[in-house]
Amino acid sequence: MRNFSGKTLFGLVLAVVIAGGAIAQDSDIQEIEDSVIKIYTTQAAPDYFVPWRLLNPRQSSGSGVLIDANRILTNAHVIADASYVQAQKHNDPQRFQARVLFVSHEADLALIEVEDEDFYAGLKPLTIGDLPDLRDEVSVLGYPMGGQSLSITKGVLSRVEHQVYSHASSYLLAGQLDAAINPGNSGGPVIVDRQIVGIVMQANTAGRSENLGYFIPPSVIRHVLRDSEDGIHDGFPDLGFRTQTLESPAAKSARGLSEDQRGVIVIQVFDDSPAAGILEVNDVITEVNGFAIADDGSIQLDSDILTNYKYAMDQFHVGDAIPLRYSRQGKEHEAMLVAGGERENYSLVNGEQFDEIPEYYLYGGVLFVPLNMNLIKRWGNDWSRSAPIALLEARNEWASPERQELVVALQVMAADVNLGYHDWRNWVVETVNDEPIRDFDHFVAMLRENTSPFVVFRNDNGYQMVIDHEEALASEEQILARYRIPSAHSSGLLNEQYLSRQP
């Protein structure tokens, strides 16, 4: 019989332990891999330059992760404007048709479901964990470009703070990591200890950094999952006020604050909002839900993390009462603001919409559309430089009850009725026959109810476009046929009230 020394025996035991640990680790990894899903979509977004047609369909793919018996969590931008969605399991060539259950474009998250129960055989859902500590190592799983199989990369959580989510330009908490993130990774899970601690959403696109990516943290994921319980998207609360930082000693003194008092100054309170009648311009918000606000608008989440005070409101849902403290002329006050439901944009330029039919109205051969970010972004990836200045500047204007939306004369379909204006395009219409425009529905109603022989469109510089009303009505069918336009207005634009008033 062979004798083993104590040292040799220890080495054998250690080897067995390591081997056993490796087998268990491989098993854990395999279970995680099987829960990561590849998603295929056919997307056809509307063409906001020619709003009655779609852009060319394109095929794309992303990633997702099973979070319960039959729901797959992914990015909203993976399935936005999708007409066909399929899901594919790890190491399985078969694709299964899927349907969208719930979408939060604001948080860039979506839930999809495969109706065929065979798809879920052998899959185990992953649970949502907690945000890891800074400098913790994380694993990123997904199906990036360059291959068909699952990719696993590792990185370190390097930063946690509010970021602009590129999909819908919302401003929410995000984690930054140094793992490689490429197209196709979107919607894949960030994993620590077999738990989901984030959903990959975007890579750094500034061109100045490499291997920097961002993920949606657990707090945002949990908010959306709770929001989805009734199938109705309520979104994150907006209390209806806007602020700016208060880092100027002079500004602080002018508001009656001492040097050691901190907060942000209210610069706008919107009518019919939760803050209306409670907050006033020049109030200083000093605390929200127990979080003290610094002069730069930040709050301290823990010893390592500072982020925007919006985080304190983002944790609430529609109907919740949000406590805050504010100073008015040096006197402290407390208030409870009840979070309302989803509202229209407080800006004159509505945010980007998805899975929507663009609105338009053709009158006298002139194509009129509401101004929104979909239209502005139609100028391409460099839209912030290439879009018309007047449209870009409008993003900085607040909406009001009298002026809630802007109308753009986008282009002119050349015809006798609009002779003299054939080269006019991309100008904002302020009035119709000297009446200010409230919103796009109001604009359309003014045209359909017009009794004047001429309609005069005017912009804020005084330029006028004059259209003969009877000629505009008489030439409509001819213009539609000449330019192969299916309808003079977008589907659903004219409600029953307007239709009942047609001549």
**Which CATH number goes with the domain that contains 154?**
2.40.10.120
Q: Tell me the C-alpha to C-alpha distance, in Å, between residue 49 and each of 200, 372, 380, 390, 410.
A: 31, 12, 12, 17, 8
| Active-site residue, from 81, 108, 439, 441 | 108
Per-residue pLDDT, averaged over 429-454, amounts to 96
Q: What percent of the chain has pLDDT over 70?
A: 89
| Active-site residue, from 186, 273, 475, 490 | 186
Q: Are residues 373 and 451 in the same domain?
A: yes
Give the pLDDT confidence score for residue 180 in this predicted structure.
Answer: 72
Calpha distance 287→294 (Å, rounded) = 9
Is residue 258 situated within a structural domain? yes
**Which CATH number goes with the domain that contains 248?**
2.30.42.10
Is residue 15 situated within a structural domain? no
Q: Are residues 207 and 176 in the same domain?
A: yes
Is residue 453 situated within a structural domain? yes
Give the pLDDT confidence score for residue 25 in this predicted structure.
Answer: 42
Of the three residues 232, 254, 280, the one that is the final residue of a domain is 232
Q: Are residues 179 and 248 in the same domain?
A: no
Q: At residue 12, does pLDDT exceed 50? A: no
Q: Are residues 212 and 278 in the same domain?
A: no
Give the pLDDT confidence score for residue 178 in this predicted structure.
Answer: 87
Q: Are residues 59 and 90 in the same domain?
A: yes
Q: Are residues 183 and 213 in the same domain?
A: yes
Q: Are residues 256 and 126 in the same domain?
A: no
Give the pLDDT confidence score for residue 263 in this predicted structure.
Answer: 95
Calpha distance 150→36 (Å, rounded) = 8
8 Å CB contact between 449 and 417:
no
Give 352-384 pLDDT, tens digit per residue. Answer: 999 999 999 999 999 999 999 999 999 999 999
Q: Is 77 a catalytic residue?
A: yes
Q: Tell me the C-alpha to C-alpha distance, in Å, between residue 316 and each of 222, 254, 344, 374.
A: 11, 32, 19, 29
Is residue 345 situated within a structural domain? no
| Active-site residue, from 77, 105, 162, 223 | 77
Give the pLDDT confidence score for residue 252 in this predicted structure.
Answer: 85
C-alpha neighbours within 13 Å on the C-beta side of residue 296:
6
Is residue 12 situated within a structural domain? no
- When divided into structural domains, the chain yields a total of 3
Give 84-143 pLDDT, tens digit per residue. Answer: 999 999 989 999 999 999 999 999 999 999 999 999 998 999 999 999 999 999 999 999
Give the pLDDT confidence score for residue 30 in this predicted structure.
Answer: 66
DSSP 8-state symbol, 133: P
Give 199-209 pLDDT, tens digit per residue. Answer: 999 876 554 54
Is residue 411 situated within a structural domain? yes
Angle at CA 240, nearest 5°, toward 351 and 334?
155
8 Å CB contact between 175 and 160:
yes
Is residue 189 situated within a structural domain? yes
Give 291-339 pLDDT, tens digit per residue. Answer: 999 999 999 998 889 999 999 999 999 999 999 999 998 899 999 999 9
**Which CATH number goes with the domain that contains 448?**
3.20.190.20
Q: Are residues 99 and 162 in the same domain?
A: yes
Q: Are residues 226 and 248 in the same domain?
A: no
Q: Are residues 246 and 228 in the same domain?
A: no
Of the three residues 207, 232, 257, the one that is the final residue of a domain is 232
Q: Are residues 138 and 190 in the same domain?
A: yes
Of the three residues 232, 259, 290, the one that is the final residue of a domain is 232
Q: Are residues 98 and 221 in the same domain?
A: yes
Phi, psi of 74 (to 5 degrees): -150, -175
Q: At residue 397, does pLDDT exceed 60? A: yes
Q: Which residues, other chains included, contact 97 with Cβ-Cβ below 8 Å and sequence gap of 6+?
A: 84, 85, 86, 114, 115, 116
Q: Is 108 a catalytic residue?
A: yes
Q: Which structural domain, as residue segments, surrounds residue 380?
A: 361-499
Is residue 4 situated within a structural domain? no
Q: Is 63 a catalytic residue?
A: no
Q: At residue 471, does pLDDT exceed 50? A: yes
Q: At residue 251, does pLDDT exceed 90? A: no
